[in-house]
Amino acid sequence: MKIVIIGTGHVATILGRKILAAGHEILQVFGRNRLYAEALAETLSTTYTTDKSHLDFSADIYIIAVSDTAIAEVAGALPLDKKLVVHTAGSVSKEVLKPCSRNYGVLYPLQSLRREMTVLPEIPFLVDGNTEDDRALIADFAGTLSNQVQYAGDEQRLKLHVAAVIVSNFSNHLYTLAQQFCMQEKVDFNMLLPLITAIAERLYQFSPFEVQTGPAIRRDEATIQKHLEVLQQHESLKELYIVFTKSIQSVH
């Protein structure tokens, strides 16, 4: 299929590379910043424009891969009539694209994407469309990029986006706090990396509930108190430790 990518950030970059790897043709990159648009176009071996009047109107799909808050503005400025337009956001309704075209939908990559990735990751996609035909076309396209494609309406997609924030953004924040703690206490955070990897890989075989371990689930109050004493000078981390301990004990 022939694709135009609107946006020049992390999602636009990795999706563009995925699209090329799947054998599709990227006709053009459209972005507001010339340097970013030019750089992405070079990466994807295509042309670019920063002027909407020079947008290539011969594509099969137009992918708006910009920040969530910018989607409405971008869509409103791009009258694409009957062209199929999708956005890539998890928490934004497909209806935001209604002013842009009669045919619109969502191509949401349920993955944390960074433009500097050297290896393209596996990306599950959640798809939607304002008509059955559009939904089927978007799903077929997504199927060329991934073997994990599911239909999800606005409400379902939003719920999965919440879950994604918890397992990705929140857990990464905990890694950040743990790394800062290790640096301040002069212990090696890198010693924890095999543990982080093993816990993540375990979830391919078991549910998180089944593999919960630690002093909280064991009701090991002696160890919990020792940990809290160590955290006396780390008030924010101590508060989180208490909250997570109570939550684990409540769930289990």
Q: What is the pLDDT of residues 16-30, one digit of tens each?
A: 999 999 999 999 999
pLDDT (tens digit per residue) in 33-63: 999 999 999 999 999 999 999 999 999 999 9
Q: Which domain holds residue 78?
A: 2-152
Last residue within a domain, chosen from 136, 152, 168: 152
Give bridge partners of residue 156 from the DSSP assignment.
Answer: none
**pLDDT value for 42:** 97
- CATH number of the domain encompassing residue 13: 3.40.50.720
Round to whole Å and give the CA distance between 210 and 120: 31
Round to whole Å and give the CA distance between 27 and 44: 10
124 & 139 share domain: yes
Tell me the mean pLDDT in the region 1-13: 97
- For the four alpha carbons of 130, 131, 134 and 140, in that order, the dihedral sign comes to positive
pLDDT (tens digit per residue) in 180-206: 999 999 999 999 999 999 999 999 999
Whether the predicted pLDDT of 79 surpasses 90: no
Mean pLDDT estimate for the chain: 96
